[in-house]
């Protein structure tokens, strides 16, 4: 009985690990295309293409603590810029995609260069829908080197004390 239970556990663990690894290898190109299209559409202020990369229930987290938008809210924000022909360009320099045991969900993180903000990081989750892979959550952050983190924290504290 012990051998049967041990064999079942071992087989289950091995199968789950293989599925997660296979998922990453199989869909890497598809995920890259979605994220690359997302950034390209933003640079072109192409509202349909940009918002089309987002899942129906998507959440976008911006660099400011007040910027947590559902897809409808984010769409209004985006349209206010894109309708005037104003987009933004974040150039991916590195990307990691991690598969999960749920084959229809992947996590990613990417380093991005932006002319205004410098080095940034985008992280998030994609879900495989009947319409293909879509961004379910995107979180944009500004990368702060540890050597200047305390200065940045003090600057933020000062800003908050003035604005609150």
pLDDT digits (tens, 9 = 90+) for 61-93: 999 999 999 999 999 999 999 999 999 999 999
Fold assignment, 2-163: Nuclear Transport Factor 2; Chain: A, (3.10.450)
Q: Which two tokens stand for residue 24?
A: 């990453």
DSSP 8-state secondary structure symbol assigned to residue 25:
H
User: pLDDT tier at 101 (50, 70, 90 boundaries)?
Assistant: confident
User: pLDDT tier at 21 (50, 70, 90 boundaries)?
Assistant: low
Q: Which two tokens stand for residue 157?
A: 């504290």
């Amino acid at each position: 009985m012990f051998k049967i239970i041990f064999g079942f556990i071992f087989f289950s663990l091995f199968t789950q690990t293989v599925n997660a690894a296979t998922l990453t290898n199989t869909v890497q190109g598809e995920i890259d295309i979605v994220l690359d299209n997302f950034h390209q559409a933003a640079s072109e202020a192409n509202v349909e293409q940009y918002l089309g990369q987002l899942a129906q229930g998507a959440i976008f987290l911006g660099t400011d603590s007040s910027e947590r938008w559902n897809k409808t809210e984010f769409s209004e924000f985006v349209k206010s810029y894109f309708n005037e022909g104003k987009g933004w360009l974040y150039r991916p320099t590195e990307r990691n995609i991690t598969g999960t045991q749920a084959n229809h969900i992947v996590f990613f993180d990417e380093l991005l260069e932006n002319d205004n903000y410098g080095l940034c990081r985008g992280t998030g989750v994609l879900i495989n829908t009947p319409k293909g892979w879509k961004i379910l959550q995107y979180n944009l952050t500004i990368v702060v080197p540890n050597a200047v983190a305390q200065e940045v924290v003090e600057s933020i504290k000062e800003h908050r004390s003035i604005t609150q």
